[in-house]
């Protein structure tokens, strides 16, 4: 159970760090979600939004973070 506790603490620290980053940067990250490749369709009585490019960036970032965690721990 001790390795599980370490991972939970590490995940918690990453979430807190991400929350602090969002809180401290304020509107400086307003470009996120409005990248080229993010699909936005707006019609009367219908809205569709698929942030494809933004989610690819999040996936790459999380993959790098997980690789670093596995590499050094």
Rounded to 5°, angle at Cα 71 from 63 and 8: 70
Residues 39 and 64 reside in one and the same domain: yes
The whole-number average pLDDT for the span 18-27 is 86
The whole-number average pLDDT for the span 44-71 is 93
Q: Give the residue from 41, 30, 37, 72 showing the smallest Cα distance to 54.
A: 37
DSSP 36: T
Residues 36 and 22 reside in one and the same domain: no
Tally of CA atoms within 13 A in the half-sphere of 32 that contains its CB: 11
Residues 39 and 6 reside in one and the same domain: no
Range of the domain at 16: 1-27
Residues 18 and 37 reside in one and the same domain: no
Is the per-residue pLDDT at 45 higher than 70? Answer: yes
Q: Give the residue from 61, 56, 18, 22 showing the smallest Cα distance to 39.
A: 56
Domain tally for the chain? 2
pLDDT of res. 1: 65
The whole-number average pLDDT for the span 5-19 is 89
pTM of the model: 0.63
Residues 9 and 38 reside in one and the same domain: no
Residues 67 and 50 reside in one and the same domain: yes
Confidence of residue 65 (pLDDT cuts 50, 70, 90): confident
């Amino acid at each position: 159970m001790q390795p599980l506790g370490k991972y939970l603490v590490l995940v918690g620290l990453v979430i807190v760090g991400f929350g602090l980053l969002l809180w401290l940067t304020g509107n400086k990250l307003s470009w996120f979600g409005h990248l080229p490749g993010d699909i936005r369709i707006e019609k009367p009585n219908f809205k569709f939004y698929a942030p494809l490019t933004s989610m690819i960036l999040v996936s790459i970032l999380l993959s790098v973070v997980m690789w670093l965690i596995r590499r050094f721990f």
